[in-house]
């Protein structure tokens, strides 16, 4: 496998998300729908949560409980 083929393979099998950026519940539903309808499913899906830092544009974002973020 060439480097470019390896990169495309990794790109095609990688998927993740960042939550807590101010998205709506519908956006998280859309993320799950996209995952569920992929032609092939990734082995893992890392979900990261924003950690608001004072002095940044998103410093006032509420902390989102990752465990509850996908309970609808």
Tens place of pLDDT per residue across the chain (72 aa): 787 776 666 666 667 888 999 999 999 999 889 888 888 787 788 888 999 999 999 999 988 887 777 887
Element (H, E) at 6: helix 3-13
Q: Determine the pLDDT at residue 11.
A: 62
Alpha carbon separation from 8 to 5, 41, 65 (Å, rounded):
5, 15, 33
Q: Determine the pLDDT at residue 56.
A: 96
Q: Determine the pLDDT at residue 29.
A: 92
């Amino acid at each position: 496998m060439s480097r470019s083929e390896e990169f495309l393979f990794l790109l095609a099998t990688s998927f993740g998300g960042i939550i807590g950026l101010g998205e709506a519940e519908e956006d998280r539903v859309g993320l799950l729908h996209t995952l569920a309808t992929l032609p092939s499913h990734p082995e893992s899906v890392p979900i990261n949560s924003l950690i608001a830092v004072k002095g940044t544009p998103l410093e006032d974002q509420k902390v989102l409980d990752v465990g509850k973020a996908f309970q609808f």
